[in-house]
Structure 1
């Protein structure tokens, strides 16, 4: 593939991801719903901006997107001003949005009629992972399309894996969020219990993180939990969106996610406390502010 790419969506993830592409020598054109952010990106990385997704996609061999949800994704892909209308045969669209497996299959089918390849590639690693270029990317699609875009994706990723046909990336991201939800709730309860018991919670975390309780969440979030600081990181609103996708897919699969469903409700309590933009580790504040009311 050539070095000409387009990137759609410059949020806390997309902005640095597109920047890594530019720093790696790719000819990058960006589009963002808020033009000022695209202009700020172009000034920082010496790239180009476009007024519409279609304009950004013209002449690009790879078009990447990282937007909010299924509807946002459709809005930048489909229609007269969508990316597909500017892409030619043999080009490939890579979607880094955490969205449903259904929309991935829908857009892949639409792309196929136009001769456009499609990879669903949701990411894990958060804002810090995007800024440091060490994201984990979970991909669904065909081998040829994956091989063609892997090098570009590696500009901002430490691991890029093809897990199956279109939709497999989104399903894997659902597994990721299901696992994280339970871990964060368990860590919140553990740190809250440690403080209530009069222990030095940070010292406790330092000890147990060397054993079987160790996790990324423990290593990276026990400090902020103990200090009650949550004005950073992966927002509760985003997590609830992701868990909603997973729970809806579980319904379609006729399977049960009881812990995930419960933690999703707990995040709803955090939103009610005004914490929609707090980091997901803020589950511990729910325990502090609601006291024993969480009991059934």
Structure 2
């Protein structure tokens, strides 16, 4: 652990932030927490120690490092900016790390706001889901300066197995967009493969056990094919959040002039899942869409 960082603030104790902050407490850091729902923060403190605060500003006061893990751009602005935001409580030379999957534009906005106040900033979205957060095995994609990265990395490694600086501010968010583009296409392909195997009368489990050893293998295939076959989706990364992420990807692609035809199609398919009432289902629920008779 970097000896210059002994006190951290963690803002956002959802399914990801709760275990991530827990790893920091177990590592011996003094953790100051804020969560919009106060009962959640109280429960975290009862389990892990540390202290709960009424506003992001209060949580950030006196912290060497402030970590944010909330839902979207607007949520980040709410907890980071303004009179009660984290930046208002941060001391000179401290560092803000945003783990939220957000837009590249927001990363640039936060970087500028931090620099104006003499603060460091990293955009550092994560991949690995709730299981990765609980196991301390997240992939963390960072954007910012080398100096800020080197200062924060020893702390992030308490819950990240791969912590990498991708480039200047915004590069972490752009890398996460690449991740979500790839995941969306992989899950749709897996859903179609399982659907095809089912329609062909094959033993789906046996098919997966064979092909996952070859070129078709992926994390999604290893960790999701069994629940997909069993039509179980009350777990994992919610469709609502994936649509938020893919919306960010598609907007950035329009700005860059990049072509994402498959991503746009998969985004529409997730819209169908939402219309089926599956906004909170795992993203692997694309198979249920194929199993559901069409109205056409």
- For normalisation by structure 1, the TM-score amounts to 0.98
Alignment of 1:31-46 (within 5 A): 31-46=34-49
What secondary structure does 1:29 align onto?
Answer: strand
Q: CA deviation at 1:46?
A: 1.2
Partner of 1:67: 70
Structure 2: distance between partners of 1:37 and 1:196: 45
Structure 2: distance between partners of 1:79 and 1:183: 40
Structure 2: distance between partners of 1:2 and 1:16: 20
What secondary structure does 1:79 align onto?
Answer: coil
Partner of 2:20: 17
Q: CA deviation at 1:269?
A: 0.2
What secondary structure does 1:194 align onto?
Answer: helix
Alignment of 1:24-173 (within 5 A): 24-173=27-176
2:241 pairs, out of 222, 238, 260, with 238
Q: CA deviation at 1:290?
A: 3.4
Structure 1 runs not aligned, ≥5 long: none
Structure 2 runs not aligned, ≥5 long: none
Structure 2: distance between partners of 1:292 and 1:34: 41
1:209 pairs, out of 201, 208, 212, with 212
What secondary structure does 2:213 align onto?
Answer: coil
Distance 1:251 1:67, change over 3 A: same
Alignment of 1:164-183 (within 5 A): 164-183=167-186
Alignment of 1:213-232 (within 5 A): 213-232=216-235
Q: CA deviation at 1:186?
A: 0.2
Structure 1: distance between partners of 2:234 and 2:287: 14
Structure 1: distance between partners of 2:104 and 2:37: 27
What secondary structure does 1:290 align onto?
Answer: coil
- For normalisation by structure 2, the TM-score amounts to 0.98
Higher mean displacement: 284-293 or 36-45: 284-293
Matched, 1:290 2:293: yes
Matched, 1:194 2:203: no
How many residues were matched structurally? 293
Q: Which consecutive segments of 4 or more residues in structure 1 shift more than 3 A?
A: 290-293
What's the C-alpha RMSD, in Å, of the aligned pairs? 0.8
* Post-superposition CA distance 1:69-97 (Å, at most 9, x none): 00000000000000000001110000000
Matched, 1:256 2:259: yes
What secondary structure does 1:163 align onto?
Answer: strand
1:8 pairs, out of 8, 11, 20, with 11
